[in-house]
């Protein structure tokens, strides 16, 4: 007899994260690394957050308050919804995992998502034995919601969409997302639409999406929708693991009953509260990302790259095939200490994803590309 994991666990392929700074520093013996691989905040940590973390250090011996009510209240105020609509988790990853476990833990059930998509959806679904039905995105990476809906059947419990999408940056109009929710409700009233808005802050559609939050809070939006947001991107707290969701109150209640009581730690909670307060840092982040996105997109286009229009803090790019392919470019950039994301794990081997950096990083990135292409 040997100890064996369950069959569905044996078949899992693990999540592939972006390369880490330490890994590359050691491998190529480089003094300085620029990481533009994981869509982190290019300005680092807000000064208000640093101060809050220092203060919270003295509280680290205490358990956090169960259910993080202070944080939930602050998020509710920030988005103009009720605290009953807000859940928080150890990154939105935890919320995604729990949603699957709460609503769809059976081999009979299936979840529906696009292909490619954020790999946490299918991985956590497979851990929970769910079948995964994937709808290919259009050739230009836009979404065909009719085609997605066609995959929904009586056993579908969850439908995941990411908007703006990762890795393309495509952002469907808020009106068609609303229509998708209505149509899903008609087709299968037992299914939930999860709208992952990890990057919505960076898009021009952010306000429209927030209007949908208010509808949800007033009960005027179909009650089959969950919005996910995170502190990992525009708020700059990826390392502390803090995500949140805007849920219909009834569904939020299931979430709180299922969540481990202290999964959001006391430092993350303090940091989240401070991040919501730091308006100036947020404005600066959005400005840096939006301007950097324009600058990188136009410079890369001029260098012969294909660049997909993006509403997020990254660009999906394809190098000019006659000069260099994606794999070579990725490798050559690593040698120069610049990490961007190869997309083999998204089954897009000819493509790369680059996170928008700060001015200095964007400049170094473009210089490195030019020098690689000249050789
Ligand atoms: C980065 C990202 C998240 C955020 O995950 P956290 O666990 O909150 O760090 C969620 N969804 C997508 C699609 C992402 O790219």
Task: State how far Cα 362 lies from the chain centre.
Answer: 21
Pocket test for ligand 1, best of 16, 196, 228 (most atoms within 8 A of CB): 196
Mean pLDDT of 310-322: 97
The alpha carbon of 144 and the centre of ligand 1 are apart by a number of angstroms equal to: 22
Task: Tell the residue nearest (CA) to atom 1 of ligand 1.
Answer: 198
The alpha carbon of 85 and the centre of ligand 1 are apart by a number of angstroms equal to: 20
Cα–Cα dist 86/80, whole Å: 11
Atom of ligand 1 nearest to the CA of 233: 1
Pocket test for ligand 1, best of 198, 203, 233 (most atoms within 8 A of CB): 198
Cα–Cα dist 36/293, whole Å: 12
Mean pLDDT of 155-176: 96
What is the greatest pairwise CA distance in the chain? 62
Cα–Cα dist 197/175, whole Å: 15
Mean pLDDT of 151-165: 97
Pocket test for ligand 1, best of 94, 230, 316, 356 (most atoms within 8 A of CB): 230
pTM of the model: 0.95
Pocket test for ligand 1, best of 39, 93, 99, 239 (most atoms within 8 A of CB): 93
Mean pLDDT of 317-338: 95
Task: Tell the residue nearest (CA) to atom 13 of ligand 1.
Answer: 118
Mean pLDDT of 327-333: 96
Task: Tell the residue nearest (CA) to atom 12 of ligand 1.
Answer: 198
pLDDT digits (tens, 9 = 90+) for 47-101: 999 999 999 999 999 999 989 999 999 999 999 999 999 999 999 999 999 999 9
Percent of the chain with pLDDT over 90: 82
Ligand 1 pocket (Cβ < 6 Å) reads 39, 91-93, 118, 162, 166, 196, 198, 230, 232, 238, 243
Q: How many residues does the chain have?
A: 375
pLDDT of residue 220 exceeding 80: no
3-state SS record for the chain: CCCCCCHHHHCCCCCCCCCCHHHHHHHHCCCCCEECCCCCCCCCCCHHHHHHHHHHHCCCCCCCCCCCHHHHHHHHHHHCCCHHHEEEECHHHHHHHHHHHHHCCCCCCEEEEEECCCCHHHHHHHHCCCEEEEEECCCCCCCCHHHHHHCCCCCEEEEEEECCCCCCCCCCCHHHHHHHHHHHHHHCCCCEEEEECCCHHHCCCHHHHHHHHHHHHCCCCCCCEEEEEECCCCCCCHHHCCEEEECCHHHHHHHHHHCCCCCCCHHHHHHHHHHHHCHHHHHHHHHHHHHHHHHHHHHHHHCCCEECCCCCCEEEEECCCCCCCHHHHHHHHHHCCEECEECHHHCCCCCEEEECCCHHHHHHHHHHHHHHHHC
The alpha carbon of 229 and the centre of ligand 1 are apart by a number of angstroms equal to: 8
Atom of ligand 1 nearest to the CA of 232: 9
Mean pLDDT of 317-332: 95
pLDDT digits (tens, 9 = 90+) for 10-53: 888 877 777 788 888 888 888 889 999 999 999 999 999 999 99
Cα–Cα dist 331/323, whole Å: 15
pLDDT digits (tens, 9 = 90+) for 286-304: 999 999 999 999 999 999 9
Task: Tell the residue nearest (CA) to atom 10 of ligand 1.
Answer: 198
pLDDT digits (tens, 9 = 90+) for 238-280: 999 999 999 999 999 999 999 999 999 999 999 999 999 999 9
Alpha-carbon separation of residue 104 from 85, 191, 195 (angstroms) = 21, 9, 17
């Amino acid at each position: 007899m040997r100890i064996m994991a369950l069959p569905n666990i044996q078949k899992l392929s693990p999540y592939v994260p972006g390369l880490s700074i330490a890994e590359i520093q050691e491998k190529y013996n480089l003094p300085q690394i620029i990481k533009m691989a994981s869509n982190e905040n290019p300005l680092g940590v807000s000064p208000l957050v640093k101060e809050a973390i220092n203060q919270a250090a003295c509280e680290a011996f205490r358990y956090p308050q169960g259910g993080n009510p202070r944080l939930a209240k602050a998020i509710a105020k920030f988005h103009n919804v009720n605290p009953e609509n807000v859940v928080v988790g150890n990154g939105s990853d935890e919320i995604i995992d729990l949603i699957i476990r709460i609503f769809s833990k059976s081999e009979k059930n299936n979840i529906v998502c696009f292909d490619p998509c954020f790999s946490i959806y299918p991985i956590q679904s497979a851990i929970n034995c769910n079948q995964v039905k994937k709808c290919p995105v259009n050739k230009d990476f836009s979404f065909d919601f009719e085609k997605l809906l066609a995959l929904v059947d009586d056993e579908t419990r969850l439908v995941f969409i990411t908007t703006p999408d990762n890795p393309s940056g495509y952002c469907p109009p808020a009106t068609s997302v609303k229509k998708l929710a209505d149509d899903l409700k008609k087709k299968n009233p037992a299914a939930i639409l999860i709208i992952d808005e990890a990057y919505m802050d960076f898009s021009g559609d952010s306000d429209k999406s927030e209007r949908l939050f208010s509808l949800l809070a007033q009960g005027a939006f179909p009650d089959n929708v969950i919005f996910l947001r995170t502190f990992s991107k525009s708020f700059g707290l990826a390392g502390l693991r803090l995500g949140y969701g805007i849920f219909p109150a009834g569904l939020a209640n299931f979430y709180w009953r299922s969540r481990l009581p202290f999964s959001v730690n006391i430092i993350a909670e303090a940091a989240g509260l401070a991040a919501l307060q730091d308006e100036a840092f947020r404005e600066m982040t959005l400005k840096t990302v939006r301007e950097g996105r324009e600058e990188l997109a136009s410079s890369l286009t001029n260098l012969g790259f294909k660049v997909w229009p993006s509403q997020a803090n990254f660009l999906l790019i394809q190098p000019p095939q006659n000069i260099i392919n994606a794999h070579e470019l990725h490798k050559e950039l690593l040698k120069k200490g610049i990490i961007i994301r190869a997309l083999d794990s998204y089954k897009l081997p000819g493509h790369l994803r680059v996170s928008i950096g700060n001015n200095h990083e964007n400049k170094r990135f473009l210089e490195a590309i030019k020098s690689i292409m000249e050789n």
